[in-house]
């Protein structure tokens, strides 16, 4: 059966939250990138108001910038705000589709081709419906690191971005009129890093970032070198993520420590405990997890290795009592964090 491209009236499962409400919730989850959030939210409200254009996706976004600045996190946060979970999205890792024949895994092999019955398409109407929720009928699709994809995938996307339709190998048509499509890319990241660190080593002041316009120009020049004009013209908004300042990383650290505390309470239940990290301990984690190249990605790794793993060892050894607390401080003698459990 061939699915129709016509779209039913958008009256069910519509998120009627105001723009300020959605923007505020996103800002609490994605730190230091207000421009990106302000570019995305209006498209959600156009859909909720029933004013999205017909015959094309609700919005198509190209997210650029250095690694670890929050591009993928933005898409996950939007899924959390609209649907209540970051799992409510279809994620396509373009690194898995670097060869033309691998693109068949997205749409399925046509009848008569070898492996037709064994190749189940990823981008189906049922998959898009499965990532919606009672809160919103918007489906979110992420094509991560689009620059790694084979040229045939980019050609495949032209029809999706332009007419919101995709013909599968079995001749069924998938409708993307109720979809937000995100493309992330590290194109231009090397040039941005040269702009951030023009000399040897790191910049002395992490808060003294170059003008946003210069980074955007570097990113867009790289995009135009790698993608055809017709592909770029089908993108509604191109957002260049800015490098994270020290203040922003401090906020992200606080957010991730709060997430760790919530994780402890959720997973351990009655065996949960309170985690307190001193200012010196926080400074140590920031130092271990900060670099211009990887942004907040190293910070998450530092928390995992320097804090979560030693914390797990205390729990396994039974040194942390239910309802107790763990104090985390920096020990200058050993150059590591020291964890101390108390009843």
DSSP string, 285-315: HHHHT--TTTTHHHHHHHHIIIIIHHHHHHH
Amino acid 119: pLDDT: 58
| Parent domain of 256 | 247-342
CA distance 111 to 170: 6
> Which residue from 79, 63, 71, 74 is spatially nearest to 179, judged by alpha carbons?
79
Which tokens sit at 187?
């194109």
Strand partners, 142: 91, 182
Is 255 within the bounds of a domain?
Answer: yes
Strand partners, 238: 62
Amino acid 211: pLDDT: 63
Q: Based on the structure, what is the number of domains in the chain?
A: 2
Q: Are residues 175 and 321 in the same domain?
A: no
> Which residue from 221, 150, 187, 169 is spatially nearest to 67, judged by alpha carbons?
187
Is 203 within the bounds of a domain?
Answer: yes
Is 1 within the bounds of a domain?
Answer: no
Amino acid 113: pLDDT: 52
CATH number of the domain to which 303 belongs? 1.10.8.60
Report the relative pairing of strands 59-64 and 237-240 from DSSP bridges. parallel
Amino acid 101: pLDDT: 80
The phi-psi region of residue 201 (left if phi > 0; otherwise alpha if psi is between -120 and 50; otherwise beta) is left
Q: Are residues 85 and 102 in the same domain?
A: yes
CATH number of the domain to which 138 belongs? 3.40.50.300
Distances (CA, A) of 187 to 192, 222, 285: 9, 6, 29
Close Cβ partners of 175 (under 8 Å, ≥ 6 residues apart): 3, 4, 5, 7, 125, 164, 165
Judge whether 280 and 330 are in contact, CB under 8 Å.
yes
Amino acid 10: pLDDT: 44
Amino acid 146: pLDDT: 94
CA distance 81 to 26: 7
Q: Are residues 200 and 313 in the same domain?
A: no
Q: Are residues 232 and 266 in the same domain?
A: no
**Average pLDDT by consecutive 10-residue portion of the chain (343 residues)?**
42 47 92 92 94 93 91 96 95 91 78 55 92 95 94 91 89 93 91 67 44 83 92 94 88 94 92 94 92 82 94 92 94 93 82
Taking the mean position of all CA atoms in its chain, how far away is CA 29?
Answer: 11
Which tokens sit at 315?
């729990």
Strand partners, 337: 330
Neighbour-count burial of 137, counting CB atoms closer than 10 A to its CB (0-12 exposed, 13-18 middle, 19+ buried): buried
Is 138 within the bounds of a domain?
Answer: yes
Q: Are residues 177 and 123 in the same domain?
A: yes
Last residue of a domain, one of 243, 258, 284: 243
């Amino acid at each position: 059966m061939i699915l129709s491209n016509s779209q039913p009236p958008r009256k069910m499962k519509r998120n009627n939250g105001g723009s300020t409400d959605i923007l505020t919730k996103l800002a609490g989850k994605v730190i230091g990138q207000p421009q990106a959030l302000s570019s995305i939210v209006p498209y959600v409200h156009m859909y909720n108001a029933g004013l999205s254009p017909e015959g094309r996706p609700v919005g198509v976004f190209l997210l650029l910038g250095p690694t670890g600045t929050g591009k993928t996190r933005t898409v996950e946060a939007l899924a959390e705000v609209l649907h209540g979970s970051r799992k409510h999205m279809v994620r396509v890792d373009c690194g898995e589709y670097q060869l033309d024949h691998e693109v068949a895994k997205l749409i399925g092999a046509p009848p008569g081709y070898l492996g037709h019955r064994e190749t189940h398409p990823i981008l189906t109407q049922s998959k898009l419906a499965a990532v919606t929720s009672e809160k919103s009928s918007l489906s979110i699709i992420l094509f991560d690191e689009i620059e790694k994809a084979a040229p045939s995938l980019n050609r495949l996307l032209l029809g999706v971005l332009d007419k919101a339709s995709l013909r599968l190998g079995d001749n069924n048509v998938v409708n993307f009129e109720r979809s937000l499509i995100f493309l992330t890319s590290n194109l231009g990241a090397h040039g941005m890093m040269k702009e951030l660190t023009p000399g040897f080593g790191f910049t002395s002041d992490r808060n003294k970032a170059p003008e946003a316009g210069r980074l955007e120009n570097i990113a867009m020049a790289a995009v135009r070198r790698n993608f055809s004009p017709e592909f770029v013209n089908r993108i509604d908004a191109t957002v260049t993520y800015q490098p994270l300042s020290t203040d922003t990383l401090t906020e992200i650290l606080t957010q991730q420590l709060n997430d760790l505390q919530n994780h402890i309470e959720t997973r351990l239940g009655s065996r949960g405990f309170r985690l307190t990290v001193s200012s010196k301990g926080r400074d140590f984690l920031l130092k271990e997890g900060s670099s211009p190249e990887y942004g907040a990605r190293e910070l998450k790794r530092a928390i995992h290795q320097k804090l979560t793993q030693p914390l797990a060892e205390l729990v396994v050894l039974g040194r942390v009592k239910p309802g107790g607390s763990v104090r985390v401080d920096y020990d200058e003698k050993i150059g590591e964090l020291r964890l101390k459990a108390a009843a």
